[in-house]
Amino acid sequence: MNIDDSTYCRLDTSRFSPEPALFFVFGASGDLASRKIFPALYDLYLEHQLPQDLLMIGVARREYGTKQFRELLHDACVAHSRHRSEALHDEAWSDFSGRIFYLRNDVEDADSYGAIRKLVVERDRGALAGLSPDARLPENTLYYLAVTPELFPLIAEHLGRSGCGSDASAKGWRRLVVEKPYGKDQQSAARLTESLHRWFEERDIYRIDHYLGKEAVQNLLHFRFANTIFEPVWNRNYIDRIEITVAEQDGIGTRGGYYDGFGAARDMLQNHLTQLLCLTVMEPPASLSPEHIRDEKVKVLRAIPEYSDAQILARARRGQYVSGVSAGGNTVPDYRAEQKVRPDSTTETYASLTLSVENWRFSGVPITLRTGKALAEKYSEIVLYFKRPPTALFAALCGDLLAPNSLTVRIQPDEGIWLSFNAKVPGEPAIRSNSLRFSYREVADYFPEAYERLILDALSGDSTLFIRADESELAWRLIDRLEAAWAGARPDASPREGGLFRYPAGTALKVLREQIEEPSRLEGGG
């Protein structure tokens, strides 16, 4: 790594270091477990980041034995680990997989929580067949719920009733990690929180938003608050507008059953894009403690105006893809012909919303959140466009040809920061926009996946990168307003009046924006 040691400051994270635990993965036979969770655990193991003595216990309904489960995970890690291009070293794999066990459990059946109770509460090693006599049984417990969200309350309840929930008198901690979607609207999210709170304290609940685990997203706070030169211009006096984009090339594939009931606003705007918004515009927190950081994010959400139906419709756009050719040259079916999608569905696969955050710093600055599937490009980024220089000198001569300065925080795929500025063209009496580019991949050998970070943080008790109950509900409040306005709009109305625009799969985002978004420069907060 190319680091100048005299400027390398290792942050003191001793408050938070990953602790050994019984790491239960509910939904262990599912996609998330095999594509993300276990490969991330394996990568952490290879990087020597996993605490010694961690025991991983897959929980699912299928009739596997531990041996068969380990074999399945071997294939999953070969396919999805960050180290997949290297052969899985037999010795490393055998040590890592020796800490993996399988417990068959019907999550809906209270009786099947007996073995979990034996391990967690009675500390009976016999409940883990094959556990080596010299292995230590950790006192801490983490339950990772990688199951369909309808099961979250039920699993929490069964765990709680078996005495396995939060317990201040227990020796170790007990944490619950829950995946998205967290509710489908504000009311259901609040209900879910209420039912989890019956068995787990809020401080023990870790709601995942995997965008927060991405390195370039974590860097937002470092970039803003570890430098002097950006923060003075990070406000309404200098920033003209902000655009936050997550563009995806894939259609919905086999996820129609879930997606058709959600759509782009609930699937992406409510969580990933709103989180990016909060980190971009929040005030400096009083300290780097998780609660101080999350308090500032909540203040951002509170400062978004309560738009009326007409206001929010004018600020939003929705689209749905029709058959087309993807960037990779494959034919993508019409969204309405995708598996498990209703043939008359009006679910949006593209959504944008231009809002403002009416606080002292950003009042009146238009901030656009946009995301879409089956587009020509795949990237995620935040762009801050600065105001133009005064209309004198070069600006007087060039007018609109003088590009505004912009700062791009590129989240993926080519993580980095780009600053654009105008400079003279050598040998010509001309000005052109250029950029300074910082690329993360050029300065880092170790680039963990989001799930690695999040798993380590949950094992460390650092909830900074997880969503607090109030954040989730406030984000839903905004999306609920949008959904209610769309529900009342005719799908065949114009895009500005909430109509559903149909775009061919493979459409370039720029083209789509020109057709439906512009003019999206909405002034003021009202």
| Number of chain positions touching ligand BG6 (CB under 6 A) | 4
Side chain identity, residue 415: E
Nearest to 209 by CA among 284, 297, 78, 283: 297
Cα distance between residue 30 and residue 26, in whole Å: 9
Q: Does the protein bind ligand BG6 through residue 179 (CB under 6 A)?
A: no
Question: Are 138 and 99 within 8 A, CB to CB?
Answer: no
Least Å from the CB of residue 271 to ligand BG6: 7
| First and final C-alpha spacing in the chain | 49
Token duo for residue 21: 């635990």
292 in active site: no
CA angle 175, 78, 257 (to 5 degrees): 60
| Shortest distance (Å) from residue 252 CB to ligand BG6 | 7
For ligand BG6, give the closer residue by CB, 270 or 405.
Answer: 270
51 vs 313: CA distance, rounded Å: 50
CA 105 to chain centroid: 29
Nearer to ligand BG6, 223 or 379 (CB): 379
* Among the listed residues 406, 486, 509, the one whose alpha carbon sits nearest the alpha carbon of residue 185: 486
Structure tokens that stand for 503 in this block? 């775009």
Rg (CA), the chain: 25
Residue type for position 282: M
Helix or strand holding residue 18 (H, E): none
In angstroms, give the least distance from the CB of 380 to ligand BG6.
6
Residue of closest CB approach to ligand BG6: 267
Element (H, E) at 383: strand 379-386
Distance, in Å, from the CA atom of 22 to the CA atom of 174, rounded to the nearest integer, reads 9
3-state helix, strand and coil shares in percent for the chain, rounded to the nearest 5: 40, 20, 40
Containing 457, the helix (H) or strand (E) segment is helix 450-460
Binding mask 358-397 toward ligand BG6 (x if CB under 6 A, else -) reads ----------------------x-----------------
- Nearer to ligand BG6 (CB atom), residue 302 or residue 378: 378
Nearest one of 355, 341, 327 to 248, comparing CA atoms: 327
User: Cβ 210 to ligand BG6, closest distance in Å?
Assistant: 6
Nearer of residues 131 and 512 to ligand BG6, judged by Cβ: 512
Q: Among 43, 243, 260, 267, indicate the residue that binds ligand BG6 (CB under 6 A).
A: 267
> Which residue among the candidates 48, 83, 272, 292 is catalytic per the annotation?
272
CA pair distance 414, 410, nearest whole angstrom: 7
* 40: nearest Cα among 54, 50, 30: 50
Tokens for 423, please give them: 């400079």
Question: Site residues for ligand BG6, window 229-258 (CB under 6 A)?
Answer: 248
Active-site amino acid positions: 272
Residues in touch with ligand BG6 (CB under 6 A): 180, 248, 267, 380
